[in-house]
Structure 1
Amino acid sequence: MSKYPNTVGDIEFDRKLDAADLKKCGAGKDKPFSFQYYHGAKGFDYKGEKIAIVEKLKKENIYSENKSNGFITVRFLVNCEGKTGLFRLQHMSPDLKDTVLDVELENKLLQFTQSLDGWIPKEINGSKVDYYQYLTYKIENGKVSEVLP
């Protein structure tokens, strides 16, 4: 067994973090393959596009009392059925240095991202495929000021 992932950027299953019931469709059981969000893209692969996510986020009114600034990125897998899993967080200061901004805010944004249920399965060459997606939340004064990409 190789110590390297099948593809650069693959997220390895972790029993402590991930639900065991997420089915990866991939190119085979022994070597599942997942695309990136930009493969085969014609737009943002979410029902209602990115604006639907931004509107839902506004309704949730997620913020931090500590007025932190920076970026929180949640990266995850969308399988061929549109179900999500393998969520991972990365946090950065405004000058893109690795730092913890606010654990409570990070957890709220992780839970918000996990609650999004409008992901559209990607089709490449007529087959539905798994793909990695990410959402980066730009934080200014403790509030999300922008959602990227």
Structure 2
Amino acid sequence: MKNGFLFILLVPLLINCQTEKSAASNYQSHVEDIVFDEKKDDPNFKRCDGNDLGIQYYSGPSSASIQYRGEKIAIIKNLEKLKIGSSNSENGYITVRFLVNCEGRSGYFRVQEMDEKYKVIKYDKTFSDQLLSFTKNLGGWIPMKINGKNRDYYQYLTYKIENGKVSEILP
């Protein structure tokens, strides 16, 4: 009787575990892996890790900071020199996400634009194109080293927009 009761309790648990395992296999290895797109990406940009999609910025050994020569302050100073702005009084965020390869070169850029309530919007095209161009031209990315080997990794810069101007760079 005791074994029968235990069996009745364990069968649903085992069935549930099997269901979760098969459902999990339908997902990508990481959220928003960036794969090559011939319409957007430079064919000369090479990944060093082959088919490995790169270390995510939230999981690398230096995930708490930007891997850039001169750190974030150097990026801010370069942006201030350009005086990029929009004639519209827009508020929100423009995020540029990209891959940095083992040589410190960047590529595979993707842009996401949101208002201050995180709803998808489109900013003035000239303004968002200037921020994308600025990000593409940053040349001080530091390769991420894991177990003594340089690896590809994802990076992002989120530009906080207030009244049509960049007020802050995140992270």
Q: Name the TM-score, length of structure 2 as normaliser.
A: 0.80
The whole-number CA distance in structure 1 between the counterparts of 2:152 and 2:162 is 33
Give 3-state SS (helix, strand or coil) of 1:57's partner: helix
Preserved contact between residue 93 and residue 101 of structure 1 (Cα < 8 Å): no
Which of structure 1's runs of 4+ aligned residues deviate more than 4 A?
Answer: 3-6
1:148 alignment partner in structure 2? 170
CA contact (8 A) 2:34 2:53 kept: no
Determine the C-alpha separation between the residues in 1 that align with 2:53 and 2:130: 30
Instruction: Report which of the two has the higher share of helix.
Output: 2
Residue number among 7, 10, 35 corresponding to 2:33 in the alignment: 10
Paired residue for 2:113?
91
Query: Which residue is 2:61 aligned to?
Result: 40
Displacement of 1:5 after TM fit? Answer: 4.9
Question: Aligned to 2:104, what secondary structure does the other structure show?
Answer: coil
Match of 1:80 in 2: 102
Question: In structure 1, which of residues 108, 114, 127 is the aligned counterpart of residue 136 of structure 2?
Answer: 114
After superposition, give the CA deviation of every residue in 1:9-48 in whole Å (9 maximum; x if it has no partner): 210101111011111111xx3x323002241106320000
> Which of the residues 156, 159, 162 maps onto 1:137?
159
Gap regions ≥5 residues in structure 2: 1-25
Whether 1:23 and 2:46 are equivalent positions in the alignment is: yes
* 3-state SS, counterpart of residue 119 of structure 1: coil
Stretches of structure 1 lacking an aligned partner (at least 5 in a row): none
Contact 1:80–1:129 (8 Å) recurs in 2 = yes
**What is the letter of the counterpart of residue 131 of structure 2?**
L
Looking at structure 2, the residues matched to 102 and 133 of structure 1 have their Cα atoms a distance apart, in angstroms, of 24
CA–CA distance in structure 1, aligned partners of residues 65 and 120 of structure 2: 30
Query: TM-score, normalised to structure 1's length?
Result: 0.91
Shift of 1:103: 1.4
Task: Answer 1 or 2: which has greater strand percent.
Answer: 1
User: Does structure 2 conserve the Cα–Cα contact (< 8 Å) formed by 1:70 and 1:101?
Assistant: no
Which amino acid letter does the alignment assign opposite residue 94 of structure 1?
Answer: E
SS in structure 1 of the partner of residue 169 of structure 2: strand
Structure-2 separation of matches of 1:129 and 1:7 = 16
